[in-house]
Structure 1
Amino acid sequence: MDDAAPQTTPLDAPGRSPRTDQAAQDAREGDGGSGVQHMKWWGWGREGVSFDHRDKPKLQPFVLEKVGVDLDTPGRPALDFDELPVPDSRAPEELLAALRTAAGDGHVHTGAMERVVHTYGKSLRDLLRLRAGDLPRTPDVVVYPGDEDAVRAVVDAVADAGAVLIPFGGGSSISGSLHPRADEQRPVVSLDLGRMNRVLEVDEHSRLARVQAGVLGPDLEDQLGARGWTMGHVPDSFTHSTLGGWIATRSSGAQSDKYGDIADLTRALRVVQPGRVVATRPVPSEATGPSVRDMLIGSEGRLGVITEAWVQVHRLPENRQILGYFYPSFEAGLAAMRDIAASDASTVLTRVSDANETAFSFATGKRSRGVSHLVSSGLKTVLKRRGWDLDAICLSFVGFEGGADAVKANQAVVKKIVKAHGGIVVGKGPGTLYDQKKFDTPYIRDYILDRGALADVSDTAASWSTLLPLYRHVREQADRAFARVGVQGWIMCHLSHSYHGGACLYFTFAFQQVSETPLVEYDVVKGAIQQAFVDAGGTLSHHHAVGTEHAQWLAEDISPAGRAMLGELFAAVDPQGQMNPGAIVD
C-alpha cells in the first residue's frame, strides 16, 4: 500500500456523518463475484481507502519512541496478486454442476481472486500469511446463493459430494474461522451469503425484524433507519461484517450497554443443515430444554449455515450524545465504570482507556484538533493543581440516548459518580471524534504493518473484582513476552461493554518486526496475553470468537469436559466433519 497513491482517501476526510455515512460508503465501494462487494485481498477495507499519518504531527514520533518504527519510512507495497502461488481448484465437474443448479450459473466461481478473497479473514496472522504468499489450501469454489432454498440445495450438494463447506459473511474474522485446513483433501466450498442482504419484515408491535443473514452492518441500519428503527449493534468491524457473522461468532457492539450483545438481540434463527432446517420461534423467552438458539449462536459454521434471524430493534433515538471524561488513573476509571453499571443511570456505552491508550489517542490528533487539543495549557494547569500526573490521564467516553429530559438526568447521575472518583467532565468534543474514528483501527494496523510493526488485539471479560488484577497480570506478561522476543513493545487497554457483574477488557499491542519469521515472534506475545487471560480468571475472548486462533485455550476456559461436550455436539450434528472443520474444536 502506497500512502502517496492518488487513489488513496484518508479515513478522516471532512464531511462524513459521525455514525454510518462513511461506513456505508466503505461497504459499497468495489465489487466482487455475483455483485457482492469484498475487502481488498491483502488488507482491511476497500481499495483506495487507507490511513495516513502525515496530518497527525505527534503520531510519527510517538510510534518511533514506543515501538521503534518510523512511519515516515515508505510503506512496503502489497505483493502483486499475480505473484501469489494460488493452488488450482480441485472442484470436480459433477460438484460444480450441482452447485450451478442450486445457485444459478452466474453465482458459482472458481477464479483465483475469488478463491483467495475467501481463503482467510483479516487477522494479523491471515495478513502475514497472505503477504508471504502462504496459500497451502484455498476454497475450490465460491458460491453465492440468493435465498434459503438455494442454500439448502448447496448444502445438500456439498454433503452428497463428500466435500467441505465454510460459510462466509463479510470476511472480517480475526479468529481464524474461515481458512480451510492445509491438509484438507476433500473439495472445499466457500458459501458467501452476500446476496442475501435484505430486511424482510418488521413487526412493529413486537419490535422485531426478520433479516437475511448476509446483510452488512451499514446496509442493515440503512434499511431499518428508513422505517424509523435501529438494531443498535455496532461492532468495530461494522462496515465489513454481516448479521450472520455477528451471530456465528457471538459478537458484541460498542453500544451493548443499552442494546445488548448479539446473543441478547437475536430472538430466533433459521439454520440450514444437510437435509433439514433448524428453526426457532421469535418468542421473548422459553422453557424448551437446553436452548437450541444459544447452541447455534457462536457456532462458527460448525452446526450449519445461518440464513436469517429475528432480531430486536428499537425506535431511532430522539437524542444521542457521547461525553468525554478524564480520570487521574485507570484504577479510578474502572471503579467509576463499575459504579455507573450499578447505578440507576441508563447509558448506551461506557468506556475508559488506560494511560497508554489515552496517550495513543492524543498522538492521533490532527493539528489543533483531536483529543490532544483538549489538554490545553489551562486545563493542564488545573489538573496539576489537583495533583494529577499528566502522564497517567485516562480518557473515558459515556454515551446517552433518549428524550432530552432522560439524557439530562442520566448525565447528572454519571457526573456525580465521575466526580466521586476524582474525574472531570471534558464535554462533547471527544465523543464526536470517537464516533467519527471508531472504525479506523484496522486501517491503522495495516498502515504500520506496511512499515514493519506487528499490531493486534485481544479481548477478554471478567468480574468487576477480577478486572484490575487481570489487567495488571496481562501487562506484566506482555512485557515479559516482549523481552523474550527481544523487541520494544507497547500494550494498551480499554474497558468496554459493562455488565451487572463485570466488563470487557480490550487490549491492543504492537512491536517491531525483527526477523524473517514474524509469526514466531507474534505467537510468543499473543500466546502470553491469551494465557494471562485464563490464568487470571478471564475468558479467552469476549467477542472475537474462538476459531482456530484461540482454540488451544478452550479447555482451560470452559473445562476439559465442556470442550468435550462441544466436540460431541459437533460430531453428532456433522459426523463426517464437513461443516467448517477445525473451528472451535478440532
Structure 2
Amino acid sequence: MNGVRHQKWWGWGEEGIAFNHRDKPKLAPFVLDRVGIDLHAPGTPPPALSDIAVPASRLGGDLAAVLRGAVGDGHVVVEDEDRLVHTYGKGLADLVRVRAGDLPRVPDVVVYPADEDQVRAVVDTVVAADAVLIPFGGGSNISGSLTPPAAEERTIVSLDLGRMNRVLEVDEAAGLARVQAGVLGPDMEDQLGARGWTMGHQPDSFRHSTLGGWIATRSSGMQSDKYGDIADITRGLRAVLPGKVVVLRPLPSTSSGPSVREMILGSEGRLGVITEAWVNVHRVPENREIIAYLFPSWAAGMAAMQEIASSDATPSVTRVSDANETQFSLSTQKKSKGIKGKVSKALFAVLERRGWDLGNACLSYIGYEGGKDLVRRNKALVGKIVKKHGGISLGTGPGALYDQKKFDTPYIRDFLLDVGGVADVSETAAPWSRLMDVHSGTVRAAQAAFDEIGVKGFIMCHLSHSYHSGACLYFTFAFPPGTTDADAQLEKYWTVKNAVQQSFMDNAATISHHHGVGTDHARWLADDISEAGTDVMVALLRGVDPGRNLNPGTILPPSREW
C-alpha cells in the first residue's frame, strides 16, 4: 500500500530467510554439549497470524479523520497485522510474548507520514487529543522502546517513518549528507554509494534499522573504530516537538551551552520525532580488508586490543571473541573440503605442538580501509602488536566470510526459539582497567543465575568497539527453559538477564553501550548516571512533554514517571 517494508511479525528479518544448521556438522553436537538442546528434534514453528487474537483498535472516528487529513486516507492503517508489527521490537521478551499472543496493549493505529510537515501535523494532533505517540523506524529495537505501556488507556499512535527514506543532499566540500530519518541502512548506503560516498555505520541490525532509530538509541556500528558512533557521526538534525521544530545546523563544533544535540541523541522518542539529520560521510574507501587473527587466550587478545587502541594504527574494526564465543564460531563453520580442510587441521596441530590450549584460543577480526599505503602500514603496525601478544594471522579468508555473514546472526535466535532454546544479548562499556573484571564477573553472575533456575546455560562474549579509554563488551547467553509456557520462560529469562545487567553495575560498567535504555534497562538508570543525574533527566523530559504523550514509559524507571 505505502511501499514500506517490515520485518516478520513473529521474528527477525525477512520472510523466507531463516537459519539452517544442517550444513554445519559441528554445531548440533556443540549445542547439545553446552546447552543441552537437540537441534535435530522436531521444532515448534511460530503460530499463524490467524491464530493470534489482536485486540480491536480503540481509534475514535474524530481522531481518525484528523489523522487522515494530515497524511492521506491510505496512510492511516488499523489492520491487525500492521498494528501487530508495531507492538513489539525484536528483543527476546518481545518474541516470546508475540508468539504466545500476549498482547496487553497494541497501537490503535499506524500512521505513515511522507514529510516533516505531515509529522508536525500528526504530533500536534496526538498531543491535542491527549493520545500517545510512539515513533517507529525499522522495528529492530531490543530494549523495550517500542512496546506500549500495558495500562495505557489513551489512544496509541505508532508513527512509522518508513516513507521518509531519501538522501536529500550531499555537501561534498564538508563531507556531510542530509538524510531523512526513516531510511533503512542498505537503502541509505545505496543512495550514498551511487554518489561515491558512505556513512560507514553498520550495526548488527543494519539491514532492518533506520537512521532515526540509530540516533534515538545512540547506536554504534562494527566500523565505529574508524567512523565513530552515531553520536560522532550526527552533526545536525531536525526534531518535531509539539507546536515547534528543533533545528540544529551541522556545525563542526559549538560552545552554545549544554548540547541540545546530545540531549536528543538517545532520547528514544521522548524528546520529539527526529525527521532528518546531517551526518558525516566519507568517500568510499579504495581498499577494504578484514583479517582474522587467533590469540592463545582472552587476556592476550584483550591486551592486544588495548595496545592497538593506544597505538598509531587506525583500523576500522577491532573485535576479539572470548574462548566460548570462539568455540561457538568454529562450530558454525561449514564442512571444509580438500586443501582448505587439511590446512586448518595442520595449523591447529602446529599450535598444539607449540603448547597452545586450543580450548582457550580466541578469534579476532580486525578491519582495514583506505589507500594501499595506509592499509599496508596499518596491517604492519597491528601485525607487530598481535605477534607481541602471542597471536597469529589466519589471513583474509575467515575475515571475508565474517564480513559476508555479519548480519545473519540474529536469525539464530528465532531458530533456537523454535527448538526450545532462549537466547539474548547484553552489551556494556567500561575503562580498559575494568574490562577483565566486567567479563569474569558477568560470566560468574550468569552461571549463578543458570544454577538458580536449574538450567544448563551458556554465555559468551566479544569486544566489539575500542576507544582511547576503554571498550564495549558484548555478551550473548542461551539456555533451555524446560517449558513452553511463555510466562515461565520469561521468568527464567529475566533472572538471567537481570543478573547480567546487575553485574555491569557491580563492576563499574554502563547499563548499555548502544542498545539504549528502553524499559528493559531503566531500573538501573540511577545506578548508572546517579540519582542527581536522573533528576536532570526527569526535568528535561517533563519540561518538553508534561502530558507524557511522547513514548511514555521508556528510559525512566516507573517510580520516576510523572
Shorter chain as denominator, the TM-score bin is: over 0.9
Match of 1:510 among 449, 470, 478: 478
Structure 2 residue matching 1:158: 3-state secondary structure: helix
Q: Distance in 1 between matches of 2:132 and 2:116?
A: 19
Match status 1:573 vs 2:541: no
One-letter amino acid matched to 1:345: A
Give the structure 1 partner of residue 381 of structure 2: 413
Match of 2:510 among 539, 559, 564: 539
Q: Distance in 1 between matches of 2:337 and 2:444?
A: 34
Match status 1:394 vs 2:358: no
Match of 2:207 among 229, 239, 258: 239
Match status 1:557 vs 2:528: yes
Q: Distance in 2 between matches of 1:426 and 1:278?
A: 50
Q: Distance in 1 between matches of 2:535 and 2:457?
A: 37
Q: Distance in 2 between matches of 1:225 and 1:75?
A: 41
Q: Distance in 1 between matches of 2:253 and 2:408?
A: 37
What whole-Å deviation, never above 9, does each CA across 1:154-190 have from its counterpart, x for those lacking one?
A: 0011011110000000000000000110110000000
Give the structure 1 partner of residue 459 of structure 2: 491
One-letter amino acid matched to 1:83: D
What whole-Å deviation, never above 9, does each CA across 1:286-309 have from its counterpart, x for those lacking one?
A: 000000000000000000000000
Aligned positions of 1:439-454 closer than 5 A: 439-454=407-422
Q: Distance in 1 between matches of 2:29 and 2:391?
A: 29
Give the structure 2 partner of residue 230 of structure 1: 198
Structure 2 residue matching 1:268: 3-state secondary structure: strand
One-letter amino acid matched to 2:349: T
Q: Distance in 1 between matches of 2:535 and 2:96?
A: 32
Match of 1:260 among 228, 232, 247: 228
Q: Distance in 1 between matches of 2:369 and 2:358?
A: 31
Query: TM-score w.r.t. structure 1 length?
Result: 0.93
Match of 2:317 among 332, 342, 349: 349
One-letter amino acid matched to 2:386: V
Give the structure 2 partner of residue 188 of structure 1: 156
Match status 1:526 vs 2:497: yes
Q: In the TM superposition, what is the alpha-carbon distance from 1:74 to its structure 2 partner?
A: 2.4
Match status 1:52 vs 2:20: yes
Give the structure 2 partner of residue 376 of structure 1: 344
Q: Distance in 2 between matches of 1:286 and 1:386?
A: 55
Q: Distance in 2 between matches of 1:333 and 1:293?
A: 36
Match of 1:305 among 273, 277, 281: 273
Structure 2 residue matching 1:50: 3-state secondary structure: coil
Aligned positions of 1:176-215 closer than 5 A: 176-215=144-183
What whole-Å deviation, never above 9, does each CA across 1:174-217 have from its counterpart, x for those lacking one?
A: 00000110110000000000000000000000000000000000
Q: In the TM superposition, what is the alpha-carbon distance from 1:384 to its structure 2 partner?
A: 1.6
Structure 1 residue matching 2:2: 3-state secondary structure: helix
Q: Distance in 2 between matches of 1:111 and 1:362?
A: 44
Give the structure 2 partner of residue 8 of structure 1: none
Q: In the TM superposition, what is the alpha-carbon distance from 1:432 to its structure 2 partner?
A: 0.5
One-letter amino acid matched to 1:524: T
What whole-Å deviation, never above 9, does each CA across 1:61-115 have from its counterpart, x for those lacking one?
A: 1111111111111221211212212111111111111100111111000111110
Q: In the TM superposition, what is the alpha-carbon distance from 1:584 to its structure 2 partner?
A: 0.1
Q: In the TM superposition, what is the alpha-carbon distance from 1:343 to its structure 2 partner?
A: 0.4
- Supply the RMSD in Å over aligned alpha carbons: 1.1
Match of 2:283 among 315, 329, 345: 315
Q: Distance in 1 between matches of 2:13 and 2:365?
A: 26
One-letter amino acid matched to 2:390: G
What whole-Å deviation, never above 9, does each CA across 1:365-385 have from its counterpart, x for those lacking one?
A: 011179x95872221222122
| Structure 1 runs, 4 residues or longer, greater than 6 Å off | none
Q: Distance in 2 between matches of 1:319 and 1:80?
A: 46
Give the structure 2 partner of residue 39 of structure 1: 7
One-letter amino acid matched to 1:109: V
What whole-Å deviation, never above 9, does each CA across 1:35-83 have from its counterpart, x for those lacking one?
A: 1000010000111111100110001111111111111112212112122
One-letter amino acid matched to 2:206: F
Q: Distance in 1 between matches of 2:196 and 2:2?
A: 30
Give the gaps of 5 or more residues in structure 2. Answer: none
Structure 2 residue matching 1:172: 3-state secondary structure: coil
Q: Distance in 2 between matches of 1:343 and 1:252?
A: 22
Match of 1:470 among 428, 438, 450: 438
Match status 1:136 vs 2:104: yes
Q: Distance in 2 between matches of 1:509 and 1:322?
A: 26
Structure 1 residue matching 2:368: 3-state secondary structure: strand
Q: In the TM superposition, what is the alpha-carbon distance from 1:268 to its structure 2 partner?
A: 0.4
What whole-Å deviation, never above 9, does each CA across 1:329-361 have from its counterpart, x for those lacking one?
A: 000000000000000011001000001000001
Q: Distance in 2 between matches of 1:170 and 1:117?
A: 10
Give the gaps of 5 or more residues in structure 1. Answer: 1-32
Q: Distance in 1 between matches of 2:415 and 2:343?
A: 27
Q: Distance in 1 between matches of 2:306 and 2:319?
A: 11
Structure 1 residue matching 2:461: 3-state secondary structure: strand
Match status 1:175 vs 2:143: yes
Distance 1:373 1:361, change over 3 A: farther
Structure 1 residue matching 2:304: 3-state secondary structure: helix
Q: Distance in 1 between matches of 2:536 and 2:343?
A: 53
Give the structure 1 partner of residue 34 of structure 2: 66
Q: Distance in 2 between matches of 1:244 and 1:197?
A: 10
Q: In the TM superposition, what is the alpha-carbon distance from 1:428 to its structure 2 partner?
A: 0.3
Q: In the TM superposition, what is the alpha-carbon distance from 1:568 to its structure 2 partner?
A: 1.4
Match of 2:48 among 53, 62, 80: 80
Structure 2 residue matching 1:35: 3-state secondary structure: coil
One-letter amino acid matched to 1:425: S
Give the structure 1 partner of residue 555 of structure 2: 584
What whole-Å deviation, never above 9, does each CA across 1:209-244 have from its counterpart, x for those lacking one?
A: 000000000000000000000000000000000000
Aligned positions of 1:8-157 closer than 5 A: 33-157=1-125
Distance 1:105 1:374, change over 3 A: farther
Give the structure 2 partner of residue 456 of structure 1: 424
- Mean Cα displacement is larger for which, 421-430 or 256-265? 421-430
One-letter amino acid matched to 2:547: Q
Q: In the TM superposition, what is the alpha-carbon distance from 1:504 to its structure 2 partner?
A: 0.2
One-letter amino acid matched to 1:55: D
Q: Distance in 1 between matches of 2:466 and 2:45?
A: 40
- Mean Cα displacement is larger for which, 81-90 or 215-224? 81-90
One-letter amino acid matched to 2:7: M
Match status 1:287 vs 2:255: yes
Q: In the TM superposition, what is the alpha-carbon distance from 1:131 to its structure 2 partner?
A: 1.0
